[in-house]
Structure 1
Amino acid sequence: MTSSALPRLTRHALPALDAHVLSTSWCEPRIGIVHLGIGNFHRAHQALYTEEAMLAAGGEWGICGVTLQGDVSKRDALMAQQGLYSVVERGPAGEKVTLARALLEVLAMPHDHDALFGRLADPQVRIVSLTVTEKGYCRDPKTGEVALDDPLVAHDLANPHTPRSVPGILAAALRGRRASDNPFTVLSCDNLAHNGAALRRVVCSFARQLDPSLADWIADVVAFPSTMVDRIVPATTESERESAARVLGYCDAAPVPCEPFRQWVIEDRFPAGRPAWDAVGAQLVDDVTPFELAKLRMLNGTHSTLAYLSMLAGFDTIDAAIGNPDMRRLIHAMMSDEIAPTLSVPRSFDILSYRDALLARYANPALKHRCAQIAMDGSQKIPPRLLGTIAARIDAGQPFARLALAVAAWMRFLRGHADDGTRFEVKDPLAARLQTLAAAAHDEPDALVAALLEVREVFPAELAAQPRFRSALRDALQVLGNGARSAIAAYAA
Structure 2
Amino acid sequence: MSRLSSKTLADLPADVIRPGYDRARVKAGVVHLGIGAFHRAHQAVIFDDALNAGDLRWGIIAASLRSPSVHDQMVPQDGLYTMLVRDGGSEQARVIGAVQAVIVAPQDPQALVAALASPDTHIVTLTITEKGYKLDPATGALIEDDPQLAADLVSLDTPRTAPGYLVAALARRRAAGLAPFTAISCDNLPHNGTRLRNAVLALAGRHDVTLADWIAERGAFPQTMIDRIVPATTPQDIAALTARLGVEDQAMVKTEPFIQWVIEDIFCGPRPDFGAGVQITAAVAPWEEAKLRLLNGAHSGIAYLGGLAAIDHVHEVLALPEARIFVEALWDEAETTLSPPPELDVAAYRRELMARFDNPTLRHRTRQIAMDGSQKLPQRLLATIAARLNAGQGIDALTLAVAGWVRWQAGQDDLGQPHVVDDPLAAPIAATLGTATTTQQRVAAILAFDAVVPPALDDSAQFRDALTRWLTILENDGARAALASFRPD
Q: TM-score range by the shorter chain?
A: over 0.9
C-alpha contact (below 8 Å) 1:54/1:276 kept by paired residues: no
Distance 2:485 2:69 in 1: 46
**Alignment of structure 1 residues 240-259 onto 2, 5 Å:** 240-259=237-256
2:293 to 271, 291, 297: 297
Matching residue of 1:40: 37
Whether 1:460 and 2:454 are equivalent positions in the alignment is: yes
The 3-state SS of whatever aligns with 2:196 is helix
Mapped partners of 1:372, 1:408: distance in 2 = 16
Report the CA distance shift for 1:256/1:21 in structure 2 as closer, same or farther (over 3 A).
Answer: same
Residue type at the aligned position of 1:210:
H
Q: Deviations over 1:79-138 (max 9, x none)?
A: 110100011221114222110100110000111212212211211011111000101111
* Letter matched to residue 469 of structure 1: F
Pairs within 5 Å for 1:246-285: 246-277=243-274, 279-285=275-281
- What's the counterpart of residue 164 of structure 2? 168
Q: Which residue of 2 aligns with 1:209?
A: 206
Equivalent of 1:141 in 120, 137, 140: 137
User: Which residue matches 2:342?
Assistant: 347
Q: Which residue identity does 1:458 align to in structure 2?
A: V
Query: 2:327 pairs with 328, 331, 341, which one?
Result: 331
Counterparts of 1:400-479 in structure 2, within 5 Å, are 400-442=395-437, 444-479=438-473
Distance 1:418 1:148 in 2: 35
Say if 2:238 and 2:249, in contact at 8 Å, map to a contact too. yes
Partner of 1:3: none
Contact residue 89 and residue 361 of structure 2 kept, 8 A? no
**Aligned equivalents of 1:167 and 1:34: distance in 2?**
14
CA contact (8 A) 2:119 2:178 kept: no
2:180 corresponds to which letter in structure 1? P
Secondary structure of the equivalent of 2:8?
Answer: helix
Name segments (4+ residues, structure 1) moved above 4 Å.
none
CA distance in 1, matches of 2:360, 2:315: 6
- Cα offset for 1:169? 1.0
Q: Does 1:107 align with 2:103?
A: yes
1:486 pairs with one of 478, 481, 486? 481
In 2, Cα distance between equivalents of 1:138 and 1:482? 38
Q: Distance in 1 between matches of 2:304 and 2:479?
A: 10
Counterpart-to-counterpart distance in 2, 1:186 and 1:33? 10
Give secondary structure in 1 for the equivalent of 2:486: helix
Cα contact 2:20–2:52 (8 A) shared by 1: no
Please state how far the C-alpha of 1:27 moved relative to its aligned partner.
4.5
**What stretches of structure 1 of length at least 5 have no aligned partner?**
1-5
- What is the letter of the counterpart of residue 461 of structure 1? P
Q: Aligned pair 1:178/2:174, yes or no?
A: yes
What TM-score comes out, normalization by structure 1 length?
A: 0.95
TM-score, length basis structure 2? 0.96
1:119 aligns with 2:104: no
AA of the residue aligned to 2:46 = Y
**Secondary structure of the residue that 2:124 maps to in structure 1?**
strand
For the 8 Å contact 1:97–1:244, the answer to whether it is kept is no
Render the CA deviation track for 1:333-374: whole Å, top value 9, x for unaligned.
211x20111111122211011111111111111111111111
The one-letter amino acid paired with 2:372 is D
Who is 2:71 aligned against?
75
